[in-house]
Amino acid sequence: MADWSPIAKVYDPLKAGSIDGTDVEPHDRAVWRAMGARYKPNKGVVGDPLLTLFVSRLNPQTTEDKLHKVFSKYGDIQRLRLVRDIVTGFSKGYAFIEYKEERSVVRARRDANKLVVDQHEVFVDFEQERTLKGWVPRRLGGGLGGKKESGQLRFGGRDRPFRKPINLGVDPVQERGGGGGVGGGREWDRPGGRNREDRDRHRTAEWGNRGRRDDRDRGREWDDRRHGDRSRHRDRR
């Protein structure tokens, strides 16, 4: 718990696919793909990754000029790249903005997140491809985002941080409500008490005895009815 953080410091597809980073086995195909991916950052990308922002959820109609106008108020922009489809030329809805100064990056990340640009609320964070060790993009099953219906819910990022584990350092007996104090919890849950197998045998025997008692009661009732019918028949004669 001492080194726990809601934001991932090293990218692990298995942990990113877990709401609290405690999963030990892959639970969907995307996690398997990301774990098996051998991804290396694009060498053709230029600029300082520590001065670069990632901007996503853009309106498809948003242009480079509009982005430059909006984000230049946080500082001087060194480089801006709106990612477009190589075939159609249409915007893919995300961009990278490199500033000249570190304070400009910090300010833009703080103030521009959830800013509405062309009727779209944008998401802003530091670039992770070249700064987060082990990073795997979403197209290979990784990333830190996604939707539940797409099967790629990912955690550990600014938009969806890890939830703090609730079962760390909790004794299983206390978690079930045993307590361990005087009168705390059921006999089955107390240390030294009867175990689960004994409890199951006890319940089975209890139900069996109850069934036999019910059968005996029904037998007595049937006998009483028969004797009653005979008595009424003799009275009629």
- Give residue 1's pLDDT band: very low, low, confident or very high (50, 70, 90): low
Q: What is the pLDDT of residue 199?
A: 60
Q: Which two tokens stand for residue 156?
A: 């550990």
- Distance between CA atoms of 45 and 70, rounded to whole angstroms? 23
Q: Which residues pair with 126 in a beta bridge?
A: 53
Q: Which two tokens stand for residue 139?
A: 């197209």
- The three-state secondary structure class of 153 is coil
- Enter the CATH code of domain 13-150: 3.30.70.330
With a pLDDT cut of 70, the percent of the chain lying above it is 68
Q: What is the pLDDT of residue 189?
A: 46
pLDDT, average across residues 107-124: 96
